[in-house]
Amino acid sequence: MVKERTIDPAVAEILEIAEAQGISTAFSRAEELKPCPIGHKGACCKLCGMGPCRLTKEGQRGICGATIDTIAARNLARMIAGGASAHSDHGRDMALTLLAAAEGKAPDYQIRDEKKLLEVAHLLGVKTQGRETMEIAKEVAEKSLAQFGQQQGEIIYLHRAPKKRQEIWRKLGIAPRGIDREVVDIMHRTHMGNDQWYESILMAGLRTALADGWGGSMLSTDITDILFGSPVPLMARANMGALSEDEVNIVVHGHEPVLSEMIVVAVNDPEMIEYAKSKGAKGINLSGICCTANETLMRQGVPTVGNFLSQELAMITGAIELMIVDIQCIMQALAPLTQQFHTLLVTTSPKAHVEGATHVEFDEHNALEIAKKIVKMGIDNFPNRRETHIPKQISHLIAGFSHEYINYALGGFYRGSFRPLNDAVIQGRLRGVAGVVGCNNARTCQDYSHDYVVRELIKNDVLVVMTGCGAIACAKSGLLSPEAAELAGPGLREICEAVGIPPVLHVGSCVDNTRILTTLSQMATEGGLGEDIADIPAVGFAPEWMSEKAISIGCYFVASGVYTIFGSESPVANSPIVDRFISEGWEKLVGGKLEFIPDPEETVRKALEHIDKKRAALGLVEYDPTRFGQSGDRLMRQFIEAMEAGLPVSPYSAKIPEPAKK
Task: Please give the residue ranges that form the binding site for other proteins (CB under 8 A).
Answer: 233-235, 396-398, 408-417, 419-424, 427, 429, 481-483, 494-495, 497-501, 628, 630-633, 635-637, 639, 650-655
The Cβ-side half-sphere exposure at 501, using a 13 Å CA radius, reads 28
Q: Which residues partner with 540 through β-bridges?
A: 435, 564
The smaller minimum CB distance to other proteins, of residues 356 and 632, is found at: 632
- Kindly report the backbone phi and psi dihedral angles of residue 398, in degrees, each rounded to the nearest multiple of 5, phi listed first: -110, 125
Helix (H, G, I), strand (E, B) or coil at 430: coil
The smaller minimum CB distance to other proteins, of residues 204 and 505, is found at: 505
Nearest approach, Cβ of residue 73 and other proteins (Å) = 44
The smaller minimum CB distance to other proteins, of residues 364 and 494, is found at: 494
The smaller minimum CB distance to other proteins, of residues 38 and 234, is found at: 234
Judge contact between 343 and 321, C-beta under 8 A. yes
Helix (H, G, I), strand (E, B) or coil at 477: coil
Helix (H, G, I), strand (E, B) or coil at 288: strand
Nearest approach, Cβ of residue 474 and other proteins (Å) = 14
Nearest approach, Cβ of residue 260 and other proteins (Å) = 23
Nearest approach, Cβ of residue 182 and other proteins (Å) = 38
Nearest approach, Cβ of residue 278 and other proteins (Å) = 35
> Nearest Cα to 323, choosing from 393, 373, 251?
251
Judge contact between 45 and 64, C-beta under 8 A. no
Which helix (H) or strand (E) is 323 found in, with range?
strand 322-325
CA 121 to CA 127: how far, in whole Å? Answer: 7
Q: Which residues partner with 306 through β-bridges?
A: 289
Q: Give long-range contacts, CB 8 A cutoff, 24+ apart: 347-353.
A: 348/259, 348/324, 348/374, 349/254, 349/256, 349/325, 351/89, 351/327, 352/254, 352/325, 352/326, 352/327, 352/328
Strand (E) positions, 36-156?
Answer: 44-45, 53-54
The smaller minimum CB distance to other proteins, of residues 241 and 632, is found at: 632
- Specify the DSSP class assigned to residue 583: I
- Specify the DSSP class assigned to residue 214: I
Judge contact between 399 and 502, C-beta under 8 A. no
Judge contact between 454 and 277, C-beta under 8 A. no
Which helix (H) or strand (E) is 506 found in, with range?
strand 504-508
Nearest approach, Cβ of residue 477 and other proteins (Å) = 14
Q: Show Cβ contacts of residue 135 under 8 Å, excluding neighbours closer than 6 positions.
A: 102
Q: Show Cβ contacts of residue 417 under 8 Å, excluding neighbours closer than 6 positions.
A: 407, 410, 411, 526
Q: Which residues partner with 466 through β-bridges?
A: 436, 506
Output the CA torsion 99→102→107→109 (10° steps). 80
The smaller minimum CB distance to other proteins, of residues 125 and 411, is found at: 411
The smaller minimum CB distance to other proteins, of residues 286 and 485, is found at: 485
Nearest approach, Cβ of residue 656 and other proteins (Å) = 9
Nearest approach, Cβ of residue 407 and other proteins (Å) = 9
- Kindly report the backbone phi and psi dihedral angles of residue 233, in degrees, each rounded to the nearest multiple of 5, phi listed first: -60, 140
| Integer-rounded Cα radius of gyration of the chain | 25
Nearest approach, Cβ of residue 423 and other proteins (Å) = 4
Judge contact between 566 and 596, C-beta under 8 A. yes
Q: Show Cβ contacts of residue 578 under 8 Å, excluding neighbours closer than 6 positions.
A: 42, 69, 72, 73, 76, 198, 202, 572
Judge contact between 103 and 135, C-beta under 8 A. no
